[in-house]
């Protein structure tokens, strides 16, 4: 987090969608409004196989992430960052959704990926989607209800 002082939270998953798009030419490109936290070319891919178990690998991962909010780990999963824990979790959920949607889209032809301008349009609307953290926590409460 030294490379990105604004980052206070990191989520790491072994999402099947991140693992899939980490080994597909072209990677995972934005295809839905939830991708507003990603660059137009999609999240970068950390190219080294294996776990991030050393200081050197951690620095290499931070270098691959650069100023993106997510990085795909080759044949492994992803790492997603945020300025809050809620933001990092929300982005992680959205990244998995984007991967699933992109996978379905390619089955129907070549997707029309989002442009930088389209991503900027969604990014400029701070209220959209409205209260996402409350939505996700309400879903958890519903599942726990007897």
pLDDT band at 35 (very low <50, low <70, confident <90, very high): very high
129 or 89, higher pLDDT = 89
pLDDT band at 144 (very low <50, low <70, confident <90, very high): confident
Among 5-19, 25-39, 119-133, the minimum mean pLDDT is found in 119-133
Backbone angles phi, psi at 56, to 5 degrees: -65, -45
Beta-bridge partners for 77: 73
pLDDT band at 130 (very low <50, low <70, confident <90, very high): low
Return the exposure string of 59-91: e unless at least 16 CB atoms fall within 10 Å of the residue's CB, then b: eebbebbeebbbbbbeebbbbbbbeeeebbbbb
Q: Are the C-beta atoms of 103 and 17 separated by less than 8 Å?
A: yes
Residue 12 is encoded by which pair of tokens?
Answer: 């790491």
* pLDDT at residue 53, rounded to an integer: 92
Residues 87-113: pLDDT tens digits? 999 999 999 999 999 999 999 999 999
Q: Is 82 helix (H, G, I), strand (E, B) or coil?
A: strand
The answer on pLDDT for 142 being more than 90 is no
Mean pLDDT, all residues of the chain: 91
Q: Are the C-beta atoms of 27 and 64 separated by less than 8 Å?
A: no
* pLDDT at residue 124, rounded to an integer: 86
What ranges in the chain are assigned the alpha helix state H? 16-21, 55-65, 85-106, 116-123, 132-144
- The overall pTM is greater than 0.85: yes
The answer on pLDDT for 82 being more than 70 is yes
């Amino acid at each position: 987090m030294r490379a990105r002082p604004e980052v206070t939270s990191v989520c790491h998953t072994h999402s099947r969608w991140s693992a899939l798009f980490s080994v597909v030419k072209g990677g995972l490109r934005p295809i839905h409004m939830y991708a507003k936290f990603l660059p137009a070319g999609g999240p970068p891919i950390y190219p080294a196989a294996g776990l991030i178990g050393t200081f050197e690998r951690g620095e290499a991962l931070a270098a691959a992430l650069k100023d993106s909010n997510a990085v795909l780990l080759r044949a492994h999963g992803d790492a997603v960052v945020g300025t809050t824990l809620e933001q990092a979790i929300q982005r992680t959920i959205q990244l998995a959704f984007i991967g699933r949607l992109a996978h379905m889209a390619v089955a129907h032809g070549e997707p029309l990926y989002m442009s930088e301008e389209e991503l900027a349009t969604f990014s400029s609307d701070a209220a959209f989607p409205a209260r996402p953290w409350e939505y996700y926590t309400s879903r958890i409460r519903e599942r726990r209800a007897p």
